[in-house]
Structure 1
Amino acid sequence: MRRVAFSLRRAGWISFWIQLVLAVVSGIILLFAILVANQSPTQGGSSGVEGGLLFAFAGLGVLGFSTYRAFYHTRLSQQLRGPHPGRPSRGETMKQMRVSLIANMVGMLLTLLGAEAINGILLAKAVSQPRGILEASVNVRDFVQPLDIFIVLANTHTIVAHFVGILCAIWLIEQIYKD
């Protein structure tokens, strides 16, 4: 029981801090992208990544829940070290690990869907970029913008954070069933 409690505490804190830092960085980047896109006439509302942003924000929201779950693992660790009548069973502990694992997998799925949408738009922009900058019909929105790359970066941070959560949950499940 002590070994599982120690593993929960250690993995919970590691996962919590990694996910928290990556969530904050991703959130700041996405908010910056939204603010700049709404104020910049060259970005306008037709950059094409809005659908991907919806999934990116959904994945970020689930990351917030996953970060809370990682913190909850540290509290669960304290309960496991507590007196026997209030201590959660192996089954209850496994149920908590499953919730965390499923949350991270759903968050990663949403974020990957956002990444696919965003990357598809960026590929289309890159392939169809006008060859001559001085042509009269050139629209700046047709070029890949630095803001587009910021959105890809934020999405990548969110994917990595969910991956860390998945790794920790799987490792903890292994620790719970280790005899």
Structure 2
Amino acid sequence: MSVDSQSSSSRRQEIAKTFRLVGWISFWIQLVLGVVSTIIVLLFGIFSQRPGSPSNNPGSGFGIFLAICGLVTLGVGVYLAFRYTRIGRQLLSSNPNNHPSKLETVQVLRFGLLVNLVGMLLTLLGAQAIVGTLVARSISPQAITTQLFDPNRIISGLDMLVVQANTNTVSAHFAGLVGSIWLLNRITR
């Protein structure tokens, strides 16, 4: 075995280990934050969107829709993070025919970047819609003149949980972006 092939082999093994490590870290961060966010958003959707509920308004409905779209793209991001671990496994294979090409690997990483950027955008737009609705509810004039209590002006704990869920989803997409950028940097050096 020549010195060049040994250094190429050790570089490939180093990249493979990096793919596996970063892939698993990214996978678990995105998965945990995504599951927590999904549970919160689904609970909010089930319990707060009943007729007559204070949170049942068009702004929060659109925000929830965008939050769900962000969660769907997060699911794709979780799959891609798992795929990074499989690429690392393929690179460790003793059979050179199993090794993915550099072009194919770069394309998967670029797709991961795109998925997480789109997911982050959708989630941020959803968060803006939800927070905008909550701010409008909190600063709108109370029904003091009619001496009636207006439950539509109350910001509930579920409303705040949805804001937290959106923050978790943005954080998960950010973790996916960091992982993809790190790996892209490692293989293009």
Structure 1 length normalisation: TM-score? 0.92
Which of 102, 125, 129 is residue 113 of structure 1 equivalent to?
125
Which of 87, 93, 96 is residue 108 of structure 2 equivalent to?
96
Instruction: Show structure 2 runs of 5+ residues with no match.
Output: 1-11
User: Deviations 1:126-151 (Å, cap 9, x if unpaired)?
Assistant: 2115275x922x32012222221111
- Shift of residue 34, structure 1, vs aligned partner: 1.1
- Shift of residue 81, structure 1, vs aligned partner: 1.3
Which of 102, 124, 130 is residue 136 of structure 2 equivalent to?
124
User: Deviations 1:76-127 (Å, cap 9, x if unpaired)?
Assistant: 1111112212211211111110111111111101101101111111111121
- Shift of residue 41, structure 1, vs aligned partner: 4.3
Find the counterpart in structure 1 of residue 171 from structure 2. 160
**Helix, strand or coil for the counterpart of 1:160?**
helix
Q: Distance in 1 between matches of 2:141 and 2:37?
A: 28
Bigger Rg over Cα: 2
Q: Distance in 2 between matches of 1:43 and 1:19?
A: 31
Letter paired with 1:70: A
Find the counterpart in structure 1 of residue 21 from structure 2. 10
User: Deviations 1:41-97 (Å, cap 9, x if unpaired)?
Assistant: 443633740000000000000001100110111111111112212211211111110
Structure 2 length normalisation: TM-score? 0.87
Q: Does 1:26 align with 2:31?
A: no
Change (3 A) 1:41 1:135: same
Find the counterpart in structure 2 of residue 173 from structure 1. 184
Instruction: Show structure 1 runs of 5+ residues with no match.
Output: none
How many residue pairs end up in the alignment?
177
Letter paired with 1:30: V
Residue 55 of structure 2 contacts residue 159 of structure 2 at CA under 8 Å; is this kept in 1? no
Identity %: 40
Letter paired with 1:49: S
Which of 72, 89, 92 is residue 81 of structure 1 equivalent to?
92
Residue 19 of structure 1 contacts residue 161 of structure 1 at CA under 8 Å; is this kept in 2? yes
Q: Distance in 2 between matches of 1:48 and 1:90?
A: 45
Q: Does 1:37 align with 2:48?
A: yes
Letter paired with 1:55: L
**Helix, strand or coil for the counterpart of 2:114?**
helix
User: Deviations 1:127-176 (Å, cap 9, x if unpaired)?
Assistant: 115275x922x320122222211110111110000000000000001111
**Helix, strand or coil for the counterpart of 1:49?**
helix
**Helix, strand or coil for the counterpart of 2:172?**
helix
